[in-house]
């Protein structure tokens, strides 16, 4: 069944977040804070691991710069925050960190390489293995995120559902167009964004200087396009 991987992923996030919310109030604030910083360090480590396999640094640089400019013009981060605010308003949740939890979890669950690769495999030949693995990882991570960042983490299932679902549907018709080189550079760009998320979780920049990672999301689409151009014109950098 095409799409089953994403459905299981959503269920895992809901279950993990619920567990985290239930145990979160029993944890002292200072422990909450150190948990979030621990998640930040781990997120940076994952990002670095994703980035180091890149074969074309110039593609990553151009993708990040072009993606940032486009995302800033489109105000993607603001739209994501507004979506989170709308969910908060509909559910009448008063929690102060709702948007932080929603934004952080949504971006982490969506920009990782397994989200992209797993959704591609799901759409191409209904292979759910990668998304089942991601479900275990996301479900486990959701416990820690929800315990540290609150109930907003639970609602990250909404962008995950639409994002992975869209990739899966697109892969049914265009999945064969992605080369291994494209996937490597998509993963590397995602790694850079993960580092940005990790820095935000550490809280070392302050609210005014917080990295608007959502505005960098177009870079994930630009990277495979630039890679295709190099392959098509046999350009070596």
User: Can you give the pLDDT at residue 26?
Assistant: 83
- Is-above-0.85 flag for pTM? no
* Mean pLDDT rounded to a whole number for the chain: 88
For the chain, domain boundaries: 4-232
Backbone angles phi, psi at 234, to 5 degrees: 50, 45
What is the rounded distance in angstroms from the CA atom of residue 235 to the CA atom of residue 7? Answer: 40
What is the rounded distance in angstroms from the CA atom of residue 46 to the CA atom of residue 229? Answer: 28
User: Can you give the pLDDT at residue 177?
Assistant: 78
Q: Could you tell me the two tokens for 198?
A: 């990790």
Average pLDDT (30-57) is 87
């Amino acid at each position: 069944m095409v799409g089953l991987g994403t459905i299981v992923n959503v269920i895992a996030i809901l279950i993990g977040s619920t567990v985290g919310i239930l145990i979160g109030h029993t944890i002292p604030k200072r422990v909450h804070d150190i948990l979030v910083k621990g998640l930040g360090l781990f997120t940076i480590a994952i990002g670095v691991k994703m980035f180091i396999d890149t074969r074309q640094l110039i593609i990553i640089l151009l993708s990040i710069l072009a993606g940032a400019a486009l995302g800033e013009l489109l105000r993607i981060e603001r739209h994501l925050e507004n979506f989170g605010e709308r969910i908060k308003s509909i559910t009448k949740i008063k929690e102060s960190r709702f948007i932080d939890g929603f934004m952080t979890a949504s971006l982490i669950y969506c920009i990782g390489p397994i989200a992209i690769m797993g959704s591609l495999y799901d759409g191409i030949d209904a292979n759910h293995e990668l998304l089942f693995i991601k479900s275990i990882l996301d479900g486990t991570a959701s416990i820690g995120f929800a315990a540290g960042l609150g109930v907003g983490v639970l609602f990250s299932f909404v962008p995950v559902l639409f994002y992975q679902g869209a990739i899966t549907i697109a892969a049914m018709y265009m999945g064969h167009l992605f080369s291994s080189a494209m996937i490597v550079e998509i993963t590397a760009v995602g790694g850079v964004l993960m580092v940005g998320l990790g820095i935000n979780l550490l809280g070392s920049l302050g609210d005014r200087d917080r990295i608007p990672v959502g505005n960098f999301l177009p870079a994930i689409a630009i990277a495979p396009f630039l890679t295709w151009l190099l392959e098509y014109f046999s350009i070596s950098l």
